[in-house]
Chain A
Amino acid sequence: MSFKFQVNLGGLIDLLSNHLYTSQDVFVRELLQNAVDAISARKIHEPDYQGKIEIEVTESRGTGSGTLTFIDNGVGLTEEEVHLFLATIGQTSKNAEFWERPTDFLGQFGIGLLACFIVADEVVVMTRSYKAGAPTIEWRGNKDGTYSIRTSKQDIEVGTQVYIKAKAGCEQYFNVAKVHKMILHFGQFLPYPIYLTSGDSRLWINEEGAPWRQDNLPKKDQVRKMLDYGNRTFGMSFFDCIPLSSPVGDVDGVAYVLPYAPSSATKRKHRVYLKNMLLSEGVENLVPEWAFFVKCIINANDLRPTASRESFYEDDKLVRTREQIGQMLRGYLIDLAINNPMRLQHLIALHGLSIKALAVEDDEFYKLFIKWLPFQTSAGELTLAQYRQHSDVVRYVTRVEHFRQIAPVAQAEGMVIVNASYVYDAQLMVKYTDVFPDEAVEKVDPESLAHNLEELTLDEQTECFDFLRLADVVLRPFQCGADMKKFNPEALPTLYSNNASADALRSIEQSKKVSGEMWSAILDTLALAGAQNPYSQLIFNHNNALVRKVARMKDKNLLQRTIEMLYVQALLLGHHPLSIKEMTILNQGLLTLIDASLVSTE
């Protein structure tokens, strides 16, 4: 034996209004949707039929409670249909067989009317079916779930009229200005005219239509119209706008180029309409990820939203729609590159990151754009084209510490180095020879740079032999070796080179200090696995007067302190953080020097 659930309508409405719908004004959306569906259904039978939606507001100032009337000239309902759709919650008319093209309709008649109870205690529906001879039916629904139905003597026009009266506390939704705003919010792009009447005034409020569907205007005015609309809607003057359209997903709309540089990690939220009714202002997955430089308004007629209304189902159609939108944005950039390079440079100054993101993914785009893209170099910010005027080989570092170490040396040696430690830059550098096989790219780090520096003569090597041997011993506890070369600038006493595994080793040491015995063994095995050359190197500069002087020092104790100090100085230059051991050296070194100078002055 089966039973039926007893649904408490009051509780259900409370659930709808306070929990399921994020905002109470959705009842307007639901009413508009019902009207649009009814008109669309009628157009199936009469393709040239002119549908319209009339909305009337009566504000009664005395009592404070207003009424709202929604009138459409769509199919209307017969008595049987009224029972079926209006009285059974969850029954949607789109399942009905006489509406044979279900994807044309979104509305859920039952739920739609239910939403009215969010703001009203009673809902009255007058409706007359387009079927010949159908009478006017009057349906009165109450918030407690009861309803009455009767045939009205009054003959209304074919269509449906919904009357609701503000319940206590909801008066603000029945104010003309508010209603106007809510209707524009949800339905300004709907394909049927919507008239708002209040007192003597009757306005066609969606006359303007979608700003990107103004094909009769000259192109310049179309752009102005879209930008103007963007400004009014989002309150900012956008850099530019790009019309969008895609046959897949049946999509059209406009992409606004942001007037500021956004972050690459914040997901850009776009305002999306589904069949011209507002779906959400926070849709994320309709635009490719690299395109975080635009904010879009898009209408989609043939995509499937998820229940949350914040995104579309990741299906094949969506993938192809997104690709198409990506193609249009890409096309805009390419068009700028060819026809308006000055403007492109402005755009790159704002949105270089977004363009780099696309260049990483797309070889053809890379080919065209890489020369325009700016990079930080040891000679200031340069585009790759400007950089290539300085140097045949593109040299880059991937870590900012390396850049700090190398930049002065490179500069003195007449080299320009790209600091590719920023997002996407390293990938763009690697890609350079992939896309242009004749070009040379070289990744540099202090180690490889040191390799190319000038060696000492044999005599000089002999002279510095003892010094370097001592330096090796002194630096061993820091996993660092010593070497001496000749390089510019003369003022730089040392070059410190540490590779990634030396860095990893440092972080392992830090962890071992606090993590206790249990973890030590584990950390050691990790250290071993990563350790190809865990030693960093301190390269003394023989061109530096101080270094030459130190190398001749005889006092072993003082020499040791000086080597340690030079080591710490090199770390500081590269902004490497000091460990406690190294901090101690700094202090002890200073003390030794002070002692020494005191001794000599006494």
Chain B
Amino acid sequence: MPVWYQLNEELILINVGVEINDLLAQAKLIDIARPEKAVLLEKAVQLADSHNEIELGFTARQELVRVCTFSGHPDKAIIAFSWCLGQNDKNPGRFDQWLLVWEYKWVVLALIKFPQIPLEKIAEFMEDAGRRLEEYEGGRRALYQLRAWQYQNMGLMDEEQRAYEEWQSSPRGVWGFRKGMSNCRACEISDDVYHHILWSRDREAIDAAKPLLAQQVTCESSGKSIFGMVLVPLVRLGELDKAQIYHRTGYRLISTNLTFLDSVAGHINYLTIVNDLDKAVKLFGKHLIWALEAAALTDVFEFYLASRLLFTRLIESRQMIKLRLPKAFPLYKRDGEYDVEALTSWFDEQLHSIATKFDARNKTDYFKGRIDQSQLQALFLPSNEIS
């Protein structure tokens, strides 16, 4: 339906459907890591809502869920998704199910990243997601997978092991657009790698990661984030040459997308441990703004953990450091002169505050434990001759 707006004394005829599709098309032309992409989609959503265009609102939001999930804005993904799910349940049979159910997997994982969302709610959604996944494809593999992810995130090792075994022993479904609910091969490999790392099985993790590291298998997410994951294990195994190559290859792949904040943390950890502090500081300065803007506190936690390790190392050699940090940083200084100890304790405070929130929600002390563990790691950092 055409609508007339009055703007600057000019009458402009706007056909809402055309305008929304135009916004969607424009968004398509923009790289997923660019914030402008989501802005255009949000505009399409607003416009669709204001004219009660449910179908278009649904399409625009589904794309928004995808874009937000893979550009580091899980909060926005949840908000857009809940609308789609609501519309879908109100209007059975009206919308395509594959993408909706597939996106449910992302959203449940996104929920875990917000400590203010209670465990019971997460469990409730996980059951709901599992039920829909089962209805779509048959089998509970995807549900076990979601559970394993959840337990990994909370550090519940025994539960993780059980869910992981159930997941691995369930028959594998189909992967593909509009086909099944199984993850792509690259993501499955990456899951294995993460599982081994969690259980401190460095050798197994590296072996499992080989097809991804050799780029025989790849994808847009796991194919890129794998590198940050394996660096520290490689150093522990003494394979420094490989670690260096994978750092250089891998960092470039993730350096422009906020969704890889936790991967950046992996790279900073690596650089700190091998004592390439100049480069570690550079990465820190470049990506701090991401951590300040990120909604997913789990990722922020990883970044702060890496930052604190870095500054703990820096204290040994200097008191002050010159850095160009974003204005949004609470300790921001115009002259760029920062006290290393003050930075260290700021990150320490932030870490404890985040850990307290997650541990209270999860009813574990996993996050607190991660901080202590990292402190321990700092004590045993290899001496300078390594570089």
Interface residues in chain A, defined as those with a beta carbon under 8 Å from any beta carbon in chain B: 263-266, 306-307, 313-316, 319, 399-400, 404, 408, 421-424, 426, 434, 503-504, 506-508, 510-511, 513-516, 518-519, 521-523, 525-526, 528-530, 572-573, 575-580, 583
Contact = CB atoms under 8 A, between A and B. Distances in A.
A150 to B, nearest CB: 43
A210 to B, nearest CB: 29
A526 B253 contact: no
A203 B117 CA distance: 76
Interface string B25-69: 000111100111001001101110111100000000000000000
Enumerate the 6 nearest inter-chain pairs by beta-carbon distance, A residue then B residue, closest first: A577-B50, A514-B86, A515-B86, A263-B29, A515-B82, A511-B83
Interface of B: 5-8, 28-31, 34-36, 39, 42-43, 45-47, 49-52, 75-76, 78-80, 82-83, 85-87, 89-90, 111, 114, 116-117, 121, 124-125, 128, 215-216, 245, 248-249, 252-253, 324
A313 B215 contact: yes
A575 B46 CA distance: 10
B47 A577 contact: yes
Nearest to B46: A577
Given A503-B42, A515-B86, A575-B5, 9 more contacts: A316-B245, A507-B45, A507-B76, A511-B82, A518-B124, A522-B117, A572-B6, A577-B49, A579-B50
B36 A422 contact: yes
26 contacts: A306-B215, A307-B216, A314-B252, A316-B248, A319-B249, A319-B252, A510-B49, A514-B83, A515-B82, A515-B86, A516-B86, A519-B85, A519-B86, A522-B117, A525-B114, A526-B114, A526-B116, A529-B75, A530-B75, A572-B6, A573-B7, A577-B46, A577-B50, A577-B51, A578-B50, A579-B49
A314 B253 contact: yes
B360 to A, nearest CB: 14
A365 to B, nearest CB: 17
B82 A522 contact: yes
Contact of B31 (A264, A528, A529): A264
A171 to B, nearest CB: 38
Contacts of B125: 518
Nearest to B52: A580
B77 to A, nearest CB: 11
Contacts of A400: 43
B87 A514 contact: yes
A111 B121 CA distance: 59
Contacts of B248: 316, 319
Contact of B82 (A519, A575, A578, A583): A519
B119 to A, nearest CB: 12
A508 B245 contact: no
Nearest to A322: B252
Contacts of A526: 75, 78-79, 114, 116
Determine chain A's interface SS by DSSP, over half rule: helix
Contacts of B215: 306, 313-314
A516 B85 CA distance: 9
A568 to B, nearest CB: 11
B79 A511 contact: yes
**Interface SS of B by simple majority:** helix
Nearest to B223: A314
Contacts of A577: 46-47, 49-51
Contacts of B76: 504, 507
Nearest to B6: A572
Given A421-B36, A577-B50, A265 B29 contact: yes
A511 B86 contact: yes
B82 A523 contact: yes
A487 to B, nearest CB: 17
B78 A265 contact: no
A48 to B, nearest CB: 39
Most chain B CB atoms below 10 A, which of A263, A313, A511, A521 = A511
A101 B35 CA distance: 49
B85 A522 contact: no
A523 B245 contact: no
Given A319-B252, A423-B36, A577-B49, A265 B30 contact: yes
Given A314-B253, A530-B75, A515 B245 contact: no
Contacts of A515: 82-83, 85-86
Contacts of B111: 522
A400 B125 CA distance: 36
B56 to A, nearest CB: 12
Contacts of B75: 526, 529-530
Contacts of A519: 82, 85-86
B20 to A, nearest CB: 11
A428 B361 CA distance: 40
A511 B80 CA distance: 7
A521 B30 contact: no
B289 to A, nearest CB: 9
A426 B289 CA distance: 14
A265 B116 contact: no
B249 A572 contact: no
A399 B6 CA distance: 20
B85 A529 contact: no
Nearest to B121: A522
A529 B116 contact: yes
A525 B128 CA distance: 20
Nearest to A573: B7
Contacts of B39: 399, 421
A422 B36 CA distance: 7
Contacts of A316: 245, 248-249
B309 to A, nearest CB: 26
B249 A315 contact: yes
Given A264-B31, A265-B30, A575-B5, A523 B79 contact: yes
Contacts of A579: 49-50
Nearest to A519: B82
Contacts of A408: 8
Nearest to B245: A316
Nearest to B327: A430
A526 B85 CA distance: 17
